Each structure stands twice: as C-alpha cells, then as structure tokens.
Amino acid sequence: MMTIIRTKKEISLNLLAKHLEIKKELIIDSNVNKKFETDIIEANTQLSIPYNCELVLENSELVELMNKSLPRVHENSQRDTILYTKKPYDSESLYKDIDLLLKIYPFVKKEIIGHSVLGSPLIELTIGKGHKKVHMNGSFHANEWITTSIMMHWLSDYLGALVKGEQFAGHDCLSLYKDTTLSFVPMVNPDGVDLVLNGVPNHSEYKASLYKMNDESLDFSQWKANIRGIDLNNQYPVNWEIEKERKEPKSPAPRDYPGDGPLTEPEAIALAELVKKHGFDRVLAFHTQGEEIYWGYLRKEPEEAGRIVNEFERLSGYKAVRDIDSHAGFRDWYVNEWRKPGFTVELGFGQNPLPFSQFDEIYRKSKGIFLSALYM
C-alpha cells in the first residue's frame, strides 16, 4: 500500500509542498489522476505522496496520514531503508522490489513492454519529465546479472536524493528530473538470469534442451543466452549476417548463437519496439566485464557521442573504445539506424559472472556514468 494523505482543509499546492518538504512537481507526478488546474487543493482530497514525506506528518494541522507506514529493513550501521537494493536479483526479487519502489515513489511510472520466452514481464520504469530522453538497460546476458543490481542501486539512491531535496554526487536531482526523461529496463533477460542463479525451472518444456545445450552439466553459471539458447545481443538487424557466419555455435547454445534470423526472440523484439516507440536521444546498455565503454559504430555515431563518452571516461576511469569488430548488437543497431549516441558499458573487471564482492567498487566507479548520462 502506498502512502496516502488527506487534506484537512483547503490548501495551496505550494504550501502543501513546503509543508511536506518536497517539490510540488513530485506531488503532481505522484497523482496523475488528479487535475491540478489551479494552485488550490480542496479539503478532504486524498493524495499519494513519496514515503519520506511521512516523517513530517505527525500532529499536522493540514493533512493526515490515511494508511500505515511501510516497514523498514536494516541495511547497514549508518541507516535503515525500506528498499534494499545491494543484493543479487533474480526476476522474482526484482519484481517485488519494483512494486515496492512504486509505492515509495509514486511518481515513477511502470510499463510492461513485452514478455520473455517463459512469460516473465519485461518492465520499463520511467522517471522524469524532460525533453531529453535517455534509455538504460541491463542483464541482456544472463551471467551478467550483477548489472541489474548496480542499476537498481543507482536508481534507489537517485530517487531518495530527489525526494529529500539532496544532491546526488554533487548534482541537483530535481534539475535532472525536470530536464530528462529516463527509461530504465533493469533486466532484459529474466529467464536467463533465473537459470544462472536458480538452475533449470521445474516443469519447463525447455528442460531437456537446456541440459543438452549445457553438455548435461547442472552448472549454468556461464550461461549468457536466453532460455532458448539465443544470444539476445546478437539479435539486431545490423550486419547480422556477418555475426551469423562467423560465430562458432551453429545451433542454440549457452552463448554467442545469434539465432536463425534477426529479431526472432521476444526479449530482443521488446527492446527494439521500445526504441522505435520513444525515439530516445541516447541509449546505454550495461554489460560485464572489462571497464570499457564502446561508443562507435562504423563512424555513424555523432560528434556528440565523443563528448559524452569523454565525461563517462573522466568520472569512471573506464576506457573509451570507439571501434570494435562487432555487429548485430543492440547498441550497434541503435547507432546505425538513428545516428545518435549509443554506449555499451562493460562494468567491472574479471571473469563473468563477476563475484558480488565487487559490487561496491563497481558502483563507486560507475555511478558517474549513470549521472552524466542524465546531465550531458
């Protein structure tokens, strides 16, 4: 249940925002079903508000809390939180935390943009209301599941700072919110992530084929593909034939098989349709590993991409790499089709799957990429 308040008397929107210690834009965006045609809010009006505002409601003469507080969980010795994002995510835990996030921050919007092979929803979160449209995604590859954890932690810290009116790494979050619309798909390949973290699903029609593709091994930790053995980041119609010819697997496999044609898999299709629908100004796909940022494709990237990646490089210490011998990827396709900045960011360093013990270091280095993607 999200936080609901009721106004005890007629009150202006500006006064309510001041009383709740929150920007009025967040009140408006948390209540899209309400019409704020004037600055005046009538008495007995019920409104959704971000969770942190509850702290100022005790003994308020202006508003009253209509439901119970959300439970808090212990995160560390410094602070408690409702939403704990520093953890590995399978699809079930991700969906639970997204539902919780929407209750805490009702100005965040959720859309199901498609479904995986096994029917799991592919979720996009939208934050902000600016003209600049930025898309980010993670866990294209199953054994790169730590990207989802890092992304959710960025988002949680950004939203928390936004509601509290605090800066995030030196940047005013409200300005970012007003200037930028962020499209956020934290897990492109939920079936694959679940396979890596939890093993073969019970009663799956793919059970026999999964074991066969995996050489009858019970260890799926190295699996990159979706549940049908198709590499989702080799699925896009930009020189797909080159990758099809030279990739070693010639049939479905744990990694690298591009499929029998471009855009055959529902997960890849969902991302392609999302891009076509929204016409993003830039996209960032987060992978592991190597601490590198790939940003060019056949010199079709705009000059702006170079300026942006220089800021990424400065803040993260990652190496910007313009040219790599790769085709048929999500970023390749985006840059080729739209001639806009697209980036593949290889988080962390080591061998996939990266150990979760690297989380803090990856987060420390990469949060500047997240932020600068919004303000550049």
Question: What pLDDT was estimated at residue 306?
Answer: 98
Give the residue-averaged pLDDT of 20-34. Answer: 94
Q: How far apart are CA 153 and CA 151, in angstroms?
A: 5
Active site residues: 346
- Give the mean pLDDT of 127-141: 97
What is the radius of gyration, based on Cα positions, of the chain? 22
> Above 60 in pLDDT, residue 159?
yes
pLDDT tens, position by position, 288-311: 999 999 999 999 999 999 999 999
The answer to whether residue 286 scores a pLDDT higher than 90 is: yes
pLDDT of 33 over the 70 cut: yes
pLDDT value at residue 276: 98
State the average pLDDT for the chain.
94
**Per-residue confidence at 73, pLDDT binned at 50, 70, 90?**
low
Predicted TM-score (pTM) of the model is: 0.95
pLDDT for 52 beyond 90: no
Q: Is 227 helix (H, G, I), strand (E, B) or coil?
A: coil
